[in-house]
Amino acid sequence: MKRIFSGAALLAVAWLYQAAPAAEVYLIGDYTVADSPKDAAPQAGWGTYLAAALPNCAPATRVHNLAIAGRSANATAGVSSKSYLASGKFAAIEAALKPRDVVLIAFGHEDERSYDVTVYTNPQTDFPANLMQFASAARAKGATPVFVTPVTRRSFYKGALLNSHGPYVRSMRALAARNHIALIDLTADSMAWLNGVGEAASQPFFIAISTGSVDAAHPNGVRDDSDLTEQGARIAAGLVAHRLAELKLPAICTP
C-alpha cells in the first residue's frame, strides 16, 4: 500500500513538473547587469551571460534580462531602484509573473549618485523600501525574489580594494535577513575574486575611465573602473550562477 502511494506521489510530482509551464528568471537591475547597447561597447553587463553560465539548468529555464542600461553618452547616471520603478517596466514584469518564477533584484550602483535626485536613494530608507516593493510584488505572485548585491568596482586605493557600495550592500543584506529573502552576495564574491586576481591582473575585466581626480599619492589620477568588459561580465555571471544553483530553486535547476 505504502509502495503504491509513494509511486503515485512520484507520478504526481512528475506530472506536475511536466504540466507546469517553463519557469522564467527575470533580472532587474542597472547597467552593470543589462544587455549593453551597441554604442556602449566594450562595456557589458553580467545579465547578458547568466543563461550561458547555467548550462545544466538552462533548457527548462528562460532568463529574461530586463535590467536597464540607461547609460548613454548623455546620461549622467544609469538606472537605480528608484528610476527603475518610475520607468514602469516593473509593472509589466509584475503582471507576467507566475508561481515558480524567480526575480533577481540587482540595484545599488546608481542609487549612490547623491547629486541626482532622479536616481539617488537613501540607503537606510528609500533603498530598502524600493527593494521590498520588488520583493513583495514577486512573492504576491508566488515567485521567488532574490537580492543580488552590486558587483564591485575595481576601486583600488593604495593597494587595497575599497567597498564603494558599503552602505547599500549592508542595507540589502540586512533587509534580506530580516525578511528571509534569498541573497546572492555578488559584492562579497566579486571583491574576493578581484582581491585574488590583484590590481594589475584584473585590468582586462573592467573599463578604465579617468575620474580626473588626482592627488599627491596618485599624480596620474585614479581610474574609476566601474564598467565591466565582456570578460569581466562573464566572470560575474559565473559567480551569480554558482550561488543561484546553491539556492536550489526549482526554476533554476530541476532535479
84 is a site residue for another protein (CB under 8 A):
no
Closest to 246 measured CA to CA, from 177, 149, 146, 134: 146
CB of 71 to another protein, least distance (A): 12
Cα 78 from Cα 80, distance rounded (Å): 7
DSSP per-residue letters across 174-229 = HHHHHHT-EEE-HHHHHHHHHHHH-TTTTGGGEEEEE----BTTBTT--EEEEEE-
Q: Which three cell numbers stand for residue 83?
A: 528610476
Helices (H), 49-201: 81-87, 89-96, 126-140, 166-179, 186-197
Task: Determine, following the binding rule CB under 8 A, whether residue 124 of this chain makes contact with another protein.
Answer: yes
186 grid coordinates: 555578488
Nearest distance, CB of residue 222 and another protein, angstroms: 5
Q: Give the alpha-carbon dihedral of 190, 193, 195, 197, to 10 degrees.
A: -140
Residue 144 or 226: the one with the smaller Cβ distance to another protein is: 226
Q: How far apart are the C-alpha atoms of 195 and 160, rounded to whole Å?
A: 8
Question: For the window 140-159, what string marks contact with another protein as x by the rule CB under 8 A?
Answer: -------------x-xxx--
Q: Does residue 87 touch another protein according to CB under 8 A?
A: no
Residue 95 vs 217, nearer CB to another protein: 217
**Residues 158 to 177: which contact another protein by CB under 8 A?**
162-167, 170
The 174-213 contact track toward another protein, x by CB under 8 A, reads -------------------------------------x-x
Is residue 129 involved in binding another protein (CB under 8 A)?
A: no
Choosing from 29, 47, 70, 123, the residue that interacts with another protein (CB under 8 A) is 123
Chain residues binding another protein by CB under 8 A are: 112, 114-115, 117, 120, 122-125, 153, 155-157, 162-167, 170, 211, 213-219, 222, 224, 226
